[in-house]
Amino acid sequence: MKLDPVNTIFNTPVENEDLFGLKIYSNCNNEVYKIPEPPACKTCKKLICKPLKDINIDINEINNKSTRKPLGKGGMNIVYDASYYYVDKNGEKKEKNLAIRLTRVPDRKILGLEQIGLLYQTKLSKSEQDGGFDCPYIAKVFDFGMYKNMNNVRLPNVEGNGSILLPKEGVYGLLEKLPEDLLERILDGSKFEENDIKIMTKQILIALSCMHNHDIYHFDIKPENIMMCDKGNQNIKLIDFGLCYTYNEKNTSSDGHLTQMRGTPNAMYLSPGYEYRRNKKIKDRPYPIDDLWSVGIIMCLILSPDSDLLTNFFPRTWDVATFTRKNIKPDGTYTSTTVV
């Protein structure tokens, strides 16, 4: 089976509880009926999502929060702070750092993509004991599934002006809360030392290696999807797998899914791979370079915020990767005489 998010079908999931006034139906224990292979149909059945109370997450504490603080908003989702304080077994007051991600568009295709992405993110981030791949640089997912907005719930808008009405149904994810994303850190004028960039790049590559070794490709690597784990400029985790893709070597192609632009539209981080697939210069399948290209562009931007490095690297139209067009090979590898 291949990924077809338009026709993704979900079995009736198990009803959980109310969350922020929404009725949620957990899908974390793999009630997804149609998922792509590999690795999902071979390994995701072994995924273990324990009840929230068994992993010391109290939904009542989340719902008792006096404010619904928005943390950020993307094209398809909005994220809210779900953190709360608790007293541990030693009597010490600690904070449980959580975030809730909610889709804010009713598009059925988007809902399918979001659930598939959360399934993979869960699989990648969970421990091997719980059936995961134990990738240390992927943000953790504690629960995900569908929500129904039966009471016309409105939540605060990110911009601080008014509120937004959530759709009648959508997808939710209960995730670990991380301080801020890489874009925010860059815009804050934070200084990145050479050693910071080396460590950060290594962590991103380890995360991508874990994904690619299990035939999962992110397709939306950009600063907004790289979360900083602390106040330093080194430790990161990847988020937002809503555009991810998995490839089965038994299939000869992705049936056209990858001949279309896949990623953030008009973004400089897009690999030119889709042009080659569309023009039948390479096989219609994902390649590691689809993600690695984006990493290279991000590092160039950090090294040269004014983009001089990029404009010198690609003298004419660097955003469509002129140099790669001449040297890409059918297997997805490439060579270049241009050196940064």
Checking if the pLDDT of 307 tops 80, the result is no
Q: How confident is the model at residue 84 (pLDDT cuts 50, 70, 90)?
A: very high
Domain boundary among 125, 142, 177: 177
Based on the fold, state whether residues 305 and 237 are members of the same structural domain: yes
Q: At what angle do helices 194-213 and 289-303 cross, to 10 degrees?
A: 170
Residue-number span of the structural domain to which 217 is assigned: 181-327
Domain boundary among 143, 177, 211: 177
| pLDDT tens string 254-265 | 555 664 556 765
String of DSSP letters for 308-340: HHHHHHSTTTGGG-HHHHHHB-TTS-B--S---
Tokens standing for 318?
């660097």
> What pLDDT is stored for residue 273 in this prediction?
79
> What pLDDT is stored for residue 315 in this prediction?
46
pTM, 2 dp: 0.82
Distance of alpha carbon 263 from alpha carbon 328, whole angstroms: 20
Based on the fold, state whether residues 27 and 165 are members of the same structural domain: yes
User: Domain holding 267: CATH number?
Assistant: 1.10.510.10
Based on the fold, state whether residues 185 and 311 are members of the same structural domain: yes
User: Domain holding 64: CATH number?
Assistant: 3.30.200.20
Based on the fold, state whether residues 11 and 147 are members of the same structural domain: yes
Based on the fold, state whether residues 82 and 139 are members of the same structural domain: yes
Query: Given the DSSP bridges, would you call strands 154-156 and 163-165 parallel, antiparallel or unpaired?
Result: antiparallel
> What pLDDT is stored for residue 169 in this prediction?
94
| pLDDT tens string 193-219 | 889 999 999 999 999 999 998 888 999
Q: Which residue has the tokens 């077809």?
A: 4
> What pLDDT is stored for residue 16 in this prediction?
55
Based on the fold, state whether residues 194 and 318 are members of the same structural domain: yes
Among 44-48, 99-103, 128-132, 318-322, name the most confident range. Answer: 99-103
The residues that bridge with 84 in the sheet, in sequence order, are 96
76, part of any domain: yes
Helices H, strands E: what count in the chain?
Answer: 9, 16
Domain boundary among 123, 150, 177: 177
290, part of any domain: yes
Based on the fold, state whether residues 186 and 165 are members of the same structural domain: no
User: What domain count does the chain have?
Assistant: 2
More confident position, 33 or 265? 265
40, part of any domain: yes
280, part of any domain: yes
> What pLDDT is stored for residue 332 in this prediction?
43
